[in-house]
Amino acid sequence: MDDVTRIHTPVMLERCISVLEPALERPGAVLVDATLGLGGHAEAFLSRFPELTLVGLDRDLQALALAEGRLKPFGDRVHLVHCVYDEINAGLQKLGIQAVDGVLFDLGVSSMQLDRAERGFAYSKDAPLDMRMDQEAPLTAEMILAEYSEFDLRRIFRDYGEEKLADRYARRIVQRRAEQPLVRSADLVDLLQQATPAALSRAGHPAKRVFQALRIEVNQELSVLERAVPAAIGALRVGGRIVVMSYQSLEDRIVKRALQALSVSTAPPGLPVELPQHKPELSLLVRGAERATDEEKAENPRATPVRFRAAERIRSAS
């Protein structure tokens, strides 16, 4: 348990608690931690709110097992579900829960996935090219590099990694695999470094954006997120709140669109009276995307890129 605590420092924990607190003070309140990870946020919420029931979702069986041990002292107040977070409604239905008071998303790759080299997420550590968050899922980064066309490799590097050298990297990968398959992260990093012009190599590690793109493709992170945020909002009761922490612009753009779409009136222009069904469903609780404080960034470097958004449901959809 000490190891779990050591490798997982929850990001913006006090801010998450302060924003969700008004929704969680209701007797019998339910919070969904849609990205449970190692359970750092979950443990803090369960400790702070003694009557709270927590539903923890995660696609990573290894993380679920570790979080289960960490949260065992809270007994039957904890319900863990192995699923991807766009399956939030199915998970709640299995538990007989109709609506919840809070939902927390802490997106991106978890501390454990980054720190355990064998998972293949970190370009700084040699490992098999895996990158699966759910180790029962069939698709790996190795398979993508071996089987995707040059066009598709270029597309994911450009769209998911925002990589300017997507064409060059995709072409080099296809050339290399014709001679020898790429099976380890060190092999891919070496190839990318050789393919990067010296003038650009000083602008950051050449593997960073490619590894991000591969991870997103392996786990279908963006398409899952596009389904998950509306599903989570739909699960909130009136007065319930949602917090989403994103770590890169592609995620944050999806979250921003989803929250903003439901925070404005849908009344047609020129309508003299706003009908109830046109009123906003959400009230945004944060102006723009909030960032971690300098103090937290210094204490927890993984908080540096975070973008924090939150909203409250103020009207039911029907």
φ/ψ of residue 251, rounded to 5: -65, -50
d(CA 274, CA 265): 8
Q: What is the DSSP letter of 290?
A: B
Helix (H) or strand (E) holding 101: strand 100-106
pLDDT tens string for the chain (318 positions)?
445 545 568 999 999 999 999 999 999 999 999 999 999 999 999 999 999 999 999 999 999 999 999 999 999 999 999 999 999 999 999 999 999 999 999 997 766 566 566 677 788 889 999 999 998 899 999 999 999 999 999 999 999 999 999 999 999 999 999 999 999 999 999 999 999 998 776 667 889 999 999 999 999 999 999 999 999 999 999 999 999 999 999 999 999 999 999 999 877 776 676 776 778 999 999 999 999 999 999 999 989 999 999 999 999 886
Q: Which of 219, 252, 284 is the last residue of a domain?
A: 219
The per-residue pLDDT for 118 is 65
Range of the domain at 50: 2-112+221-313
Structure tokens at 51: 């009557």
What residue numbers does the annotated binding site cover? Answer: 39-41, 58, 85, 106, 113
Domain shared by 150 and 7, yes or no = no
The per-residue pLDDT for 119 is 73
Q: Which of 190, 219, 248 is the last residue of a domain?
A: 219
The per-residue pLDDT for 112 is 59
- What is the Cα Rg of the chain in Å? 21
- The CATH number covering residue 106 comes to 3.40.50.150
Q: What is the DSSP letter of 86?
A: G
The per-residue pLDDT for 317 is 81
The per-residue pLDDT for 95 is 96
The answer to the question of residue 318 being in a domain is: no
The per-residue pLDDT for 1 is 44
The answer to the question of residue 243 being in a domain is: yes
- The CATH number covering residue 122 comes to 1.10.150.170
The per-residue pLDDT for 99 is 97
Closest listed residue to residue 248, CA positions, set 217, 222, 286, 285 = 222
The per-residue pLDDT for 29 is 98
The per-residue pLDDT for 199 is 76
Q: Which of 158, 193, 219 is the last residue of a domain?
A: 219
What residue numbers does the annotated binding site for S-adenosyl-L-methionine cover? Answer: 39-41, 58, 85, 106, 113
The amino acid occupying position 88 is I
Domain shared by 41 and 61, yes or no = yes
Q: How many domains does the chain have?
A: 2
